Amino acid sequence: MKLIIASNNRHKIDEIKAMLGHRFSAVLGMREAGLELEVEENAETLEGNARKKAKEVFALADSMGLLGSGDAVLADDTGLLVDVLNGAPGVRSARYATEGHDDAANRAKLLWELNGVPERERGAHFATAMVLVRKDDTDIEATGRVYGRITEDERGENGFGYDSLFFYEPMGKTFAEMDADEKNAVSHRKNALELVLAALD
């Protein structure tokens, strides 16, 4: 089985390859697969965006003859949901500060929004909604979550997005202070992928 990931985000693709690569003969990002498509992520939920990306990329790949029997397209949408902000930035996580993808600006805005909020009230969780679309029309949908809190300053050099602000209590580190193996063992994306894998069995 070949898997096309509906993304050009190198960090995301590498994480998924590390976790799912053993289950597929090939795992390709869109660029690697020769696909050029900008999907408008305008759904009101993470699940809606993941489903929209999976369906549109699948339709394009299929029309180009890139998908054989059993091949699949996987899409996800991830959001950071902060309790005291009523779940914001949520579905707007990637574009929290601007319409473009600017991780540094997004983190700065989040810290500004939480200025003065005490540690005990800075609870948050990451959620990853994942949709796998297959040639046989047996779609799989799953959502993985991981819980933590938002720090008062950035910590760590690894990861991407909000990782340097997301403190995971059981390991005593932010996601950006973990190496790839540590993060992949506990992350929201890992939890979603495990549910997808279980459904594939």
Residues annotated catalytic, as ranges = 77
In contact, 78 and 189? CB cutoff 8 Å:
yes
d(CA 115, CA 112): 5
Burial of 171 (0-12, 13-18, 19+ CB in 10 A): middle
The backbone region for 80, taken as left when phi is positive above 0, alpha when psi lies in -120 to 50, beta otherwise, is beta
Helices 188-200 and 10-20, axial angle in degrees (round to 10): 40
- Sign of the four-CA dihedral 25, 27, 33, 36: positive
Nearest to 67 by CA among 28, 17, 23: 28
